[in-house]
Each structure stands twice: as structure tokens, then as C-alpha cells.
């Protein structure tokens, strides 16, 4: 049952396809956990007989991989608990195979001081489920003016600094943030959208926005911000992570920067390699995201960027909204979709459509984000945390948002057929989720 398999007797997962993207491992064998860590694994482990003094779990030949590390989640607690709480987000994460997640600082109050970081850490300990980390605000109150106390916040456990869904629009502020962060090698994360070009926009600028009569946000808003920040990065020598890249030109700019040796990483999210602006259809507000859904050309460029390594990671971009925020005219609707419970199957579509090998897809969800954040997670190794996901990569199912464990149900993927079903999620050796169909 979920919540068992704690720190008592060892647990043996046998008849498993053990996949570890960090080491390139893809073998049939067994794995044993004890005391919250991985004790051993391999193809010859318990080959002759299973021990009796342990719990035994038959994996049925399915994939046993590191738990997913989701590097961008909006938890809504504190301040908007009617949309999501740390508990409901943790429940959703467990159902999606996510064993660690990092929340943005755009809560109420904003996570821009020590008390905010301590609150997230305390609530995560109380929930005792998915591992929860946080970013702190780059500027006080997310106002884009005065820098937050980055050094102190980093000491308290903030994994990076960002103004979340708001771009650091002032070039001088961004330069100071990068320069200051270099002193303690902290990570600056940027929402890549030039604010004055995006102001008042509701969707991607182009023929579709003209047809729908909606104000557009040009793809140039993303490219300009990325190009500017890359110049500032070159000037300061800091570490920069560009969030949810969505345009062909943005991907190409980052590709060139990496070739020049700049310390830049980036991620994208399932909406940007699964949907396009045409999915908005007749003003579907569940398809309103920031940055907006782009063209088919942009989607293919994002997929190519994932395949060639330009885009380092895939994040859920989980942004729960209640019905009052979405059941309004498109231009007035809030941005965001829930994504924790669909992150794995939507990402696996890249494998099923022969765009990327399975190991490469899983790397974007596990060891790659963990490496960016410098977390000792996302890998299967002796002595590593026993954070695992068991899933059937080929099991088909239909997304049903009504059954989500997330408190909000704003998913554009509702009723979509997908492949890849989470069967079991384990954090620190404890089973937090077990599918009824397992």
C-alpha cells in the first residue's frame, strides 16, 4: 500500500528493466533498497533465488528508472491554497512519477526572504511525500527593481533565483543579478519574454491571432530577451538558465551560445513540443500559457533542440488555475496548465514517435535537471537515494482531468490518448503511489 516500504526491511524489485540515463544503463535485473537508499542492483542480483527477509516486488519486466525531477512547479501555497497546496501537488507528483520538484517564488507572500524558504522546507517535511525544493525571488517582491538577498537565501537552501513568470526586464537589474550570483556560483533563471513586446498579448502573434481577433505576442519577444541575456551572461561569466523555450529562433540562439562555451542551460515543457497555436481552436482558455503556444515550425525546432541536446531538460511547468481564472474570455484568462500527472506520458511521445531514444527522454526528466540544480538525485547508483518510478512505457490510456489528484483541472490534454503509465512511485524507499492497474 502507498506509504509503506519505509526504513524497515529491505525491498527487492525483481524482474525489472532497470534504466538509468546518467550512466547509460538499460539492463534486465533486480534492485534492492534499504534505509531510504539503493543498496545494490544488477543483472545477476538474486538471479538464483530471492531472499526471504525482505519485501519483494515483481516489476513484470517494466521500466524501473530514477524518479522524475521536475524543475519548475507553481505550488500556490502560501496564498492561493484554493488552487493547489503542497499536499495536493505532492499527491499529483506521486501519481506522475515525480519524486522531486522545485517551486517558483510567486506565492503570496513572495519567497524573497529566509522565512519563505523555511516555510516551504517545513511544509515539505510535514507532508512527507515528494521532495520539495524552492527557488527564491531574484528581486524583492518580484518587482524587478531591488535584488533579493541572494547570498543568505542560497545558504538557506534556495536552488536558484528567478522572478518566476515575470521576466527580469531591466537590463541593468539583470546584469547586477548575474554579477552578484557569480560570487557564490548561484543559478539565475529567466522567463524569456521582453515585457514591453508581450504587454497586453494573449497568444502567439500571427495569422491565427488575427483570425481569432486576439492581441498577439511576437516570437521576437522571446528571441530578444534570450539574445540580450546571453550578451550579459558573456559579460559576467555567471550561470544562466532559460526557462520554457518555445521558439525556433530562441533554440538557435542558445545553440550558438553553447557552441561559444557560455554557461547557459535551458528547458522546455510538454505544451511546446505537443501543441501549437491552432490547438486554441475556438478560444480554449486551457491552451493559454506563458510563453504562448507557437507555430508548427517552432514545435519542430523545440523537438530538434531536445534531440540534439540544445535543450537540457523538460519541466512540467505545472501552473494550477481554478475555474474562475479560466472560464472567462480568452484575453482575460490566466496563463497556465496543470502538468505533473501528464509529464511522463507526454514526454514519452518523443520516444514513441521515434524522435528520441528512451534513455535520452528520461535524461531530460531526471539526471539532467538534477545536474543543473546540483541535486544528488535523478540516478540509479549504489548509495543513491531510493527515489524510483516503475512505469509501463507502452501502456495506452486516456487523460481524464477529472481524476487528477491536483486540486485544479486546467489541462489542455484532457481526453487525449497517451502511452506510458506510472505503476509505482517510491521516495526514500517509501511507496507513495501504486496504480490500481499494476
CATH number for the domain spanning 141: value is: 3.20.20.140
Task: Indicate whether 352 and 400 sit together in one domain.
Answer: no
Task: Indicate whether 44 and 73 sit together in one domain.
Answer: no
Domain end, chosen from 348, 373, 398, is at 373
- Domains contained in the chain, number: 2
Q: Is residue 248 predicted with pLDDT exceeding 60?
A: yes
Task: Indicate whether 405 and 350 sit together in one domain.
Answer: no
Q: Is residue 314 predicted with pLDDT exceeding 50?
A: yes
Percent of the chain surpassing pLDDT 90? 95
Mean pLDDT computed over 411-431: 98
Beta-sheet pairing, 25-34 with 11-20:
antiparallel
Closest CA to 18 of 370, 429, 365, 358: 358
Task: Indicate whether 220 and 266 sit together in one domain.
Answer: yes
Q: Is residue 1 predicted with pLDDT exceeding 90?
A: no
Task: Indicate whether 222 and 182 sit together in one domain.
Answer: yes
Mean pLDDT computed over 108-129: 96
Between the alpha carbon of residue 78 and those of residues 111, 120, 396, 404, 438, the distances in Å are: 10, 9, 36, 21, 35
Task: Quote the domain boundaries for residue 137.
Answer: 68-373
Task: Indicate whether 145 and 214 sit together in one domain.
Answer: yes
CB burial of residue 64 (10 Å; 0-12, 13-18, 19+): buried
Phi then psi for residue 380, to 5 deg, are: -105, 115
Whether residue 215 lies inside any domain: the answer is yes
Whether residue 378 lies inside any domain: the answer is no
Task: Indicate whether 56 and 163 sit together in one domain.
Answer: no
Active-site residue, 414 included:
no
Confidence band (pLDDT; 50, 70, 90) for 437? low
Confidence band (pLDDT; 50, 70, 90) for 48? confident
Rounded-to-integer distance, Cα 383 and Cα 376, Å: 11
CA angle 61, 64, 68 (to 5 degrees): 150
Task: Indicate whether 93 and 191 sit together in one domain.
Answer: yes
Q: Which of 312, 317, 387, 392 is catalytic?
A: 317
pLDDT in tens, 140-192: 999 999 999 999 999 999 999 999 999 999 999 999 999 999 999 999 999 99
Phi then psi for residue 198, to 5 deg, are: -85, -15
Closest CA to 347 of 373, 370, 315: 315
The CATH number covering residue 411 comes to 2.30.40.10
* Region for residue 295 given its phi and psi (left: phi exceeds 0; alpha: psi -120 to 50; beta: otherwise): beta
Task: Indicate whether 201 and 316 sit together in one domain.
Answer: yes
pLDDT in tens, 344-391: 999 999 999 999 999 999 999 999 999 999 999 999 999 999 999 999
pLDDT in tens, 87-104: 999 999 999 999 999 999
On average, the pLDDT of the chain sits at 96
Task: Indicate whether 157 and 29 sit together in one domain.
Answer: no
Q: Which residue has the cell 524552492?
A: 134
Whether residue 427 lies inside any domain: the answer is yes
pLDDT in tens, 37-46: 999 999 988 8
Task: Indicate whether 257 and 289 sit together in one domain.
Answer: yes
Rounded-to-integer distance, Cα 36 and Cα 341, Å: 24
The predicted pLDDT at position 39 comes to: 96
Residues with Cβ within 8 Å of 242's Cβ and at least 6 positions away in sequence, in order, are 189, 190, 192, 226, 229, 250, 254, 264, 265, 266, 267
Mean pLDDT computed over 231-256: 98
Whether residue 1 lies inside any domain: the answer is no
pLDDT in tens, 257-277: 999 999 999 999 999 999 999
Between the alpha carbon of residue 229 and those of residues 135, 261, 263, 305, the distances in Å are: 19, 15, 12, 19
Task: Indicate whether 55 and 80 sit together in one domain.
Answer: no
The predicted pLDDT at position 8 comes to: 64
Phi then psi for residue 271, to 5 deg, are: -55, -30
Contact (CB, 8 A) for 191 and 250? no
The predicted pLDDT at position 50 comes to: 79
Whether residue 5 lies inside any domain: the answer is no
Amino acid at each position: 500500500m502507498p506509504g509503506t516500504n519505509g526504513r524497515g526491511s529491505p525491498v527487492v524489485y525483481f524482474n525489472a528493466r532497470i534504466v538509468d540515463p546518467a550512466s547509460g544503463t538499460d539492463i534486465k535485473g533486480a534492485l534492492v533498497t534499504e534505509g531510504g537508499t539503493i543498496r545494490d542492483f544488477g543483472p545477476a542480483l538474486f538471479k538464483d533465488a530471492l531472499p526471504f527477509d525482505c519485501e519483494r516486488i515483481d516489476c513484470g519486466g517494466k521500466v524501473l528508472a530514477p524518479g522524475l525531477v521536475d524543475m519548475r512547479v507553481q505550488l500556490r501555497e502560501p496564498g492561493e491554497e484554493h488552487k493547489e497546496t503542497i499536499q495536493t501537488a505532492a499527491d499529483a507528483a506521486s501519481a506522475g512519477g515525480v519524486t522531486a520538484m522545485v517551486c517558483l517564488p510567486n506565492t503570496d507572500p513572495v519567497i524573497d526572504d529566509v522565512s519563505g524558504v523555511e516555510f516551504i522546507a517545513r511544509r515539505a517535511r510535514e507532508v512527507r511525500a515528494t521532495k520539495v525544493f524552492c527557488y527564491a525571488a531574484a528581486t524583492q517582491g518580484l518587482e524587478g527593481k531591488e535584488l533579493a538577498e541572494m547570498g543568505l537565501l542560497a545558504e538557506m537552501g534556495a536552488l536558484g533565483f528567478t522572478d518566476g513568470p515575470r521576466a527580469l526586464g531591466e537590463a541593468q537589474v539583470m546584469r547586477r543579478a548575474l554579477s552578484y550570483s557569480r560570487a557564490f556560483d548561484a543559478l539565475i533563471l529567466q522567463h524569456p519574454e521582453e515585457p514591453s513586446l508581450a504587454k497586453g498579448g494573449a497568444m502567439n502573434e500571427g495569422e491565427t491571432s488575427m483570425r481569432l481577433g486576439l492581441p498577439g505576442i511576437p516570437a521576437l519577444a522571446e528571441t530578444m530577451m534570450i539574445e540580450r541575456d546571453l550578451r550579459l551572461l558573456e559579460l559576467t561569466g555567471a550561470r544562466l538558465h532559460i526557462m520554457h523555450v518555445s521558439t525556433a529562433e530562441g533554440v538557435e540562439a542558445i545553440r550558438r551560445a553553447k557552441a561559444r562555451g557560455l554557461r547557459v542551460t535551458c528547458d522546455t515543457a510538454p505544451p511546446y513540443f505537443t501543441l501549437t497555436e491552432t490547438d486554441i481552436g475556438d478560444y480554449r482558455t486551457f491552451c493559454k500559457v506563458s510563453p504562448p503556444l507557437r507555430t508548427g515550425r517552432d514545435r519542430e525546432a523545440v523537438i530538434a533542440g531536445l534531440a540534439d541536446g540544445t535543450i537540457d531538460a523538460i519541466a512540467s511547468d505545472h501552473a494550477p488555475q481554478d475555474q474562475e481564472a479560466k472560464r472567462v474570455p480568452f484575453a482575460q484568462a490566466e496563463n497556465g496548465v496543470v502538468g505533473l500527472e501528464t509529464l511522463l506520458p507526454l514526454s514519452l511521445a518523443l520516444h514513441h514517435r521515434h524522435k528520441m531514444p528512451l534513455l535520452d527522454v528520461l535524461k531530460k526528466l531526471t539526471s539532467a535537471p538534477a545536474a543543473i540544480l546540483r541535486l544528488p538525485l535523478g540516478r540509479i547508483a549504489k548509495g543513491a537515494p531510493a527515489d524510483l518510478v516503475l512505469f509501463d512505457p507502452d501502456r495506452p490510456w486516456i487523460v481524464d482531468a477529472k481524476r487528477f489528484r491536483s486540486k485544479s483541472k486546467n489541462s489542455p490534454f484532457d481526453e487525449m490518448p497517451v502511452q506510458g503509465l506510472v505503476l509505482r512511485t517510491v521516495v526514500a524507499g517509501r511507496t507513495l503511489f501504486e496504480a490500481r492497474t499494476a
